[in-house]
Amino acid sequence: MPNNPVQCQFVAALDSIVGKWKPLILYHLLQGKPLRFNELRRLLPDITQRMLTLHLRELEEEELVRRVIYPQVPPKVEYSITEYGMSLSPVLETLHRWGAAHVERKRLIQEQKEQADTD
Amino acid sequence: MPNNPVQCQFVAALDSIVGKWKPLILYHLLQGKPLRFNELRRLLPDITQRMLTLHLRELEEEELVRRVIYPQVPPKVEYSITEYGMSLSPVLETLHRWGAAHVERKRLIQEQKEQADTD
DNA sequence: CGTTGCAGTACCTTTTTTCATACTATACCA
DNA sequence: TGGTATAGTATGAAAAAAGGTACTGCAACG
């Protein structure tokens, strides 16, 4: 951890969120309903099992996500957001909203460029 | 860019913010004052010249940061936040705030652990 | 009796990101 | 005349993140 306090705070926040898939995992779990491993996998069609496992373990370690194993066969494991994890909700939401606007802006610029090309 | 719209929005947002140093660069520029290359370097003591250059170029490409060259010798180049860059302010702020709370929480947990150890 | 679903692990490769060091040209200062 | 400051670039190495494939054991389904 860096000792620069400002940097420190960004790093702490980003460490929890970043990883190619973490925001998405959290987003889905923040919908409230606990999800099984393969349910998450279906929601994130392009993730590999390995990556999903790794990210979930990291989120669990930070107590953002809870993992409950039902001792039955075939296995059942449920993941859900913790109370602490919910505190990330505003961050994710702000990020999500800005992302949407950013995408829209890029689309508009692209459109303008194409318009100029046909002239 | 992924075609999953939800993922798309996170990726778009995170791409702009992430990179070990980008949030910090944006944070400093969001203070309002234009900063010269070496001023930024002093504010981010551990960054290498190369990384600072690369990140600034990326931010410039996304029109989040403006780069103005004064044709004089020795060179003078000033970086400042663009109007569009300012739209990132709420994102950075939310992130920063959560980061601070996260750091504090970790500190508390660490303290409790140490307390338990001395018992 | 073969297939599918469950929740992973093991092992190895590739890609991406970051780091370290050396180098440029010019002007100002002592 | 040597050192410092300016804003970088070039090159190669290292570290971190992500991906790919194969494999497990058991049960239910057809």
DSSP designation for A63: T
Radius of gyration, CA atoms only, chain A: 18
User: What pLDDT does B3 receive?
Assistant: 65
Peptide bond just before A45 cis, omega within 30 deg: no
Statement: the CB of B50 is under 7 Å from strand D: yes
pTM above 0.85, yes or no: yes
| Residues of B at the A interface, defined by Cβ within 8 angstroms | 2, 4, 6-14, 16-18, 23-24, 27, 44-46, 84, 87-88, 90-91, 94-96, 98-103, 105-106
Statement: the CB of B50 is under 7 Å from strand C: yes
User: What pLDDT does B2 receive?
Assistant: 55
Q: Is the pLDDT of residue B1 over 80?
A: no
Mean pLDDT by 10 residues, chain A (119 residues): 78 95 97 97 96 98 97 95 98 96 94 91
SS3 of residue A42 by DSSP: helix
Half-sphere exposure of B119 (CA within 13 A, CB side): 6
C-alpha torsion sign, points B47, B52, B58, B62: positive
Helix (H) or strand (E) holding B100: helix B89-118
The more confident residue out of A4 and B103 is B103
Domain positions in chain B are 9-117
DSSP designation for A77: E
Statement: the CB of B87 is under 7 Å from strand C: no
Q: Report the alpha-carbon distance of residue A90 to residue A13 in Å, rounded.
A: 12
- The CATH number that domain B9-117 falls under is 1.10.10.10
Amino acid at A38: N
User: What pLDDT does A3 receive?
Assistant: 65
Q: Report the alpha-carbon distance of residue B4 to residue B11 in Å, rounded.
A: 10
CB A31 within 8 A of CB B116: no
User: What pLDDT does A34 receive?
Assistant: 98
